[in-house]
Structure 1
Amino acid sequence: MSIISKLKIWFSDAFQTPPPALDRMRLRPEGSTQNPLMLQFFTWDCLHESLSWWKHLETEVPKLAEMGFTQIWLPPPNKAAEPLGRGYDAYDLWDLGEFNHKGTIKTRWGTKEEFLSACKVAQEHGIDILIDAVLNHKLGADRTEVVPAVKVQPENRLKNAGPVKDIEAWTLFDFPARGDKYSKLRWNHEHFTGVDWDNKMREKAVYKLTGPGHKGWSRNVDSELGNYDFLLGIDIDHRHPAVQEDLMNWGTWILETTNASGFRLDAIKHIDRKFLLNFIQTTRKNSGNSKMFAVSEYWSGNLKLIMPYIRAFKGETSFFDVPLHMNLCKASRQRSRYDLRTILHDTIVGVKPHDAVTFVDNHECVVEGQSLESWVEHTFKIQAYAIILLRSGGFPCVFYGDLYPNREGYNENTARNITLLIEARKMFAYGATEDYFHDRNCIGFVRRGDENHPGCAVILSNKDEGSGTFLHNLRMNVGIAHARTQYRSFMTQHGIVDIDKDGWGTFSCFANYVQVWVPVKE
């Protein structure tokens, strides 16, 4: 192929608009007309007082299905480096709580049998399971080996901070209890690009592995810190053929074993993009699930950094809308100083709504002291959930920590209101969205409904002054189909709105709150 032909292909790939990711994926049971809804069923520190986490999930499934959830994102089910590790400290992806590794058979979440039972019950109730795939790194190696490596500068991984020297690295994974079951790969330094600990000198730093066979950092990663291939622990080299084969096999195996519908992909800015695209496409093909779901975590509030990734993945994965989360966080902290008319500015859902998985908080941003700490304050959390649950753009994900009692910031009143918003989404929030963003402290939107659902009108406020007594009024049009009808308040017993002959009505909302207005049944 000539250079000119290659350039034409490159320009075509670089500037073409990828197909919308969510449109090609399964979000709810086949044939259902109900709004789809995802639940992240864990927090960072969650443990049930009397049940394993998997048993807890199984007991909650019937209620969650009735509420309207169609997908559940579970914590990483793999064996961790520590007995109570969350799975992000991935030791063995193939051990789902089956083998005696790291001093335990079960994972933090329970045994393999409990895990598969919970998955089966969820699917029987019309809820799909999402596997959290931790493919970037490993931790908890069984043995060390001496390997040549070079320390790199913390702020620029492309620059060395010293000469190449031999270090003692935790890079040997034997999986003694599992043996050759499921996979025969025994990991060693050849399968990794870097480590963050020299056991010989007892020194923590970022070391790039060198020597025969090592290619340095991948170039197909984020450019933060010069090159962001390394995140933590023992960084996997996704260019190694044995690594590619093992992870591809695991992807198909985990879907077949659990009958899960897809993946949440962890920390993708650190993973070779070419490998990850191949992983998604290969598992989608090999599992026989053409509608396999995928959502990727690229943690940045900067939409300009995320857009090239959306284009690079060609509609094969959706993305968590971190820019929207950051806007919600900012709005919650600035309170009435924040201009609500800008809430969707520079967000994925604002520019590519069919690629956005929207969320308010998750397991990382609510943990005080964590690098991603950015939780949304309770003074704005109901407004934030109204935005992601009741609008037509994006695929919303509700956080367990906002819905269930826990020690990480739960608020009973907030949970009660989120439950009402979830009910409003299931019953009323259908049809196109028409915005009425006319005031910096009070915005509204209308859902016109469809042939099976009546629609709704929504108002939200961030006005501090006189909260609970100050009343906003906003004139909105609900459509000629609702002319000369009445709407009632849904969140509280707030009153009745008369709709005129042209479909207009004046809707109200208390300051610093949300009100959902729905048609009065005839």
Structure 2
Amino acid sequence: MFAKLRAWIAGFFTSYPSPLLYMRLGPEGSNDNPLMFQFFTWDCLHERLSWWKHFEEEIPRLAELGVTQVWLPPPNKAAEPKGRGYDAYDLWDLGEFDQKGSIKTRWGTREELLQACKVAKEHGIDILIDAVLNHKLGADKTETFRVIPVHETNRLRDAGHARNIKGWTAFDFPGRGDKYSTLRWNHEHFTAVDWDQETRTKAIYRIAEQGRKGWSRNVDTEHGNYDYLLGTDIDHRHPAVQEDLLAWGKWILETTGATGFRLDAIKHIDRKFMVRWIEDIRLAIGGKSMFVVAEYWSGSYKAIVPYMHAFKGEAAFFDVPLHMNLNRASTQRSRYDLRKIFEDTIVRARPNDSITFVDNHDTGIGRTLESWVDDNFKVQAYALILLRGHGYPCIFYGDLYHNKESYNENTARNISLLIGARKKFAYGATEDYFAHPNCIGFVRKGDATHTGCAVILSNKEDGPSTYLHELRMNVGIENAGKTYRSIMTQHGRVQIDASGWGIFSCFANTVQVWTTSEE
């Protein structure tokens, strides 16, 4: 016990490589800023094309915007035809076999996926695979085995006596057979289920057959032990499971030409296995540059820190604490102090570990992780992740593309302008001017090949929309005498004095980006 505690504490004092400094963020040879794009929402479907065909059609536009990486939805066969892939049935079926009521997945066929990946590569865009490794759903038949029910809020406490149940744990993959993998999953490969078919009762049932190890200790401690999340929970300590998932990771990169992964729900997966999984795949593909970003969902930076250390720099992390700050700013409106927007975030503490984002497929209204950033602050939020020099931003499809869940035409137009500003102007050191609770600004000084910019944003709503904020910011003495112009919906000019100072402005509750008029 004490040895483990000492090892855990020692991790905080052991330095590890910063993943964004060595991982591949896009094709080599470009001096432009890299940019990630999440190309799906929860309910997305195209009215006339498969999703893979839709993605293929949009690749030229994405490349023009400056997107260098696209995070695609899970490509694997789901438990039902319209399943998103997070209800993972067969990782090895990319829309090739007649299983679970369909050959294609929700997103399309294997051929359509591989063609889209090929076109993306031709346009200088890397593909990231969403790896759903925590659980399986949609078993082909039940098995009878011994379990112990546990409490929902404390999985370390038993909620009843040991008993036999019929659980959906047998995965035979009749449509695929032995192609790609010969593993047939059964209850030996899982730690728990949530349904007894015999009594038609829902609960968390820890599998308690003789010789079973129970929950993994290398998971998050929420609810006592957060090994179990949903469905049929995979036991990542089982040798056959490890072999199959490692083989799949190498195979999916080779098959699609993808260059990395988004790891789903890592707080529920044995972290020692996950680190080994990443290391082994990196070794197999012959390069350290494979991109990996992990989803550890918590608004607490302190809760995420142990996992960042446990992963030893092998993965970047989505900056959920920053997302939660952005959500609070949008709900509290003028009452939120913008000077605190980066407090207790990954991007402030370890910017080269941080994947910044505003929203994703899980944060929308009514979704499981509802924490939507409202349109009153959406553009300001994107300015903060796209134009500063810290962290690596990810754009959400639902914020830019027309969709039934969340689209706002004016918001999307302004985000497009910010994406263009990132590509053209957002370079060099970042200097902050966080001067007022309702108005902050920052300057990018530029580099040898790109002009910098000055950014000012407001969340002031308790007053007329014509209220004008002004901030005095220094853009560098090398810009003395130049004229800066606005590139958003507000137009104007700022004259830079002999010392590099200028007075920049924006209207209440807006964003303004200023750059030299020569551009």
Residues 153-164 of structure 1: pairs in structure 2 closer than 5 A:
153-164=151-162
Asked if 1 retains the 8 angstrom alpha-carbon contact of 2:166 and 2:198, the reply is yes
Q: Which residue of 1 aligns with 2:288?
A: 290
Asked if 2 retains the 8 angstrom alpha-carbon contact of 1:72 and 1:130, the reply is yes
Choose from 269, 272, 276 the match for 2:270: 272
Residue 369 of structure 1 and its aligned partner are, at CA, apart by 2.6
Q: Which residue of 2 aligns with 1:419?
A: 416
Residue 370 of structure 1 and its aligned partner are, at CA, apart by 2.6
Q: Which residue of 2 aligns with 1:72?
A: 70
User: Using the alignment, how far apart are the partners of 2:34 and 2:14 within structure 1?
Assistant: 29
Residue 371 of structure 1 and its aligned partner are, at CA, apart by 2.6
User: Using the alignment, how far apart are the partners of 1:326 and 1:7 within structure 2?
Assistant: 30
Choose from 158, 176, 192 the match for 1:194: 192
User: Using the alignment, how far apart are the partners of 1:9 and 1:146 within structure 2?
Assistant: 40
- Counterpart of 2:155 in 1: which secondary structure? strand
Asked if 1 retains the 8 angstrom alpha-carbon contact of 2:443 and 2:453, the reply is yes
Asked if 1 retains the 8 angstrom alpha-carbon contact of 2:95 and 2:105, the reply is yes
Q: Which residue of 2 aligns with 1:396?
A: 393
Residue 11 of structure 1 and its aligned partner are, at CA, apart by 6.2
Q: Which residue of 1 aligns with 2:513?
A: 516
Choose from 183, 202, 205 the match for 1:204: 202
Asked if 2 retains the 8 angstrom alpha-carbon contact of 1:75 and 1:87, the reply is yes
Please tell me whether residue 407 in structure 1 is matched to residue 404 in structure 2: yes
- Counterpart of 2:156 in 1: which secondary structure? strand
Choose from 331, 335, 338 the match for 1:337: 335
Q: Which residue of 2 aligns with 1:504?
A: 501
User: Using the alignment, how far apart are the partners of 1:467 and 1:411 within structure 2?
Assistant: 23
Identity of aligned residues (%): 69
Please tell me whether residue 463 in structure 1 is matched to residue 460 in structure 2: yes
Residue 12 of structure 1 and its aligned partner are, at CA, apart by 4.8
Residue 213 of structure 1 and its aligned partner are, at CA, apart by 3.2
Residue 465 of structure 1 and its aligned partner are, at CA, apart by 2.9
User: Using the alignment, how far apart are the partners of 1:380 and 1:493 within structure 2?
Assistant: 17
Choose from 452, 461, 474 the match for 1:477: 474
Residue 18 of structure 1 and its aligned partner are, at CA, apart by 1.7
Residues 39-118 of structure 1: pairs in structure 2 closer than 5 A:
39-118=37-116
How big is the alpha-carbon RMSD for the aligned residues of Structure 1 and Structure 2?
1.5
User: Using the alignment, how far apart are the partners of 2:448 and 2:97 within structure 1?
Assistant: 52
Asked if 2 retains the 8 angstrom alpha-carbon contact of 1:268 and 1:297, the reply is yes
Choose from 161, 177, 180 the match for 1:179: 177
Q: Which residue of 2 aligns with 1:36?
A: 34
- Tell me the matched-pair count: 519
User: What stretches of structure 2 of length at least 5 have no aligned partner?
Assistant: none
Letter in 2 for 1:471: L
Letter in 1 for 2:140: D
- Relative distance call for 1:80 and 1:440 in structure 2 (3 A) is same
User: Using the alignment, how far apart are the partners of 1:448 and 1:125 within structure 2?
Assistant: 29
Asked if 2 retains the 8 angstrom alpha-carbon contact of 1:38 and 1:72, the reply is yes
Q: Which residue of 2 aligns with 1:384?
A: 381
Asked if 2 retains the 8 angstrom alpha-carbon contact of 1:392 and 1:431, the reply is yes
Letter in 2 for 1:403: L
Residue 214 of structure 1 and its aligned partner are, at CA, apart by 1.4
Letter in 2 for 1:169: G
User: Using the alignment, how far apart are the partners of 2:287 and 2:76 within structure 1?
Assistant: 22
- Relative distance call for 1:467 and 1:312 in structure 2 (3 A) is farther
Q: TM-score, normalised by structure 1?
A: 0.98
- Relative distance call for 1:47 and 1:467 in structure 2 (3 A) is farther
User: Using the alignment, how far apart are the partners of 1:243 and 1:331 within structure 2?
Assistant: 43
Asked if 2 retains the 8 angstrom alpha-carbon contact of 1:54 and 1:115, the reply is yes
Residue 13 of structure 1 and its aligned partner are, at CA, apart by 4.0
Choose from 226, 238, 245 the match for 1:228: 226
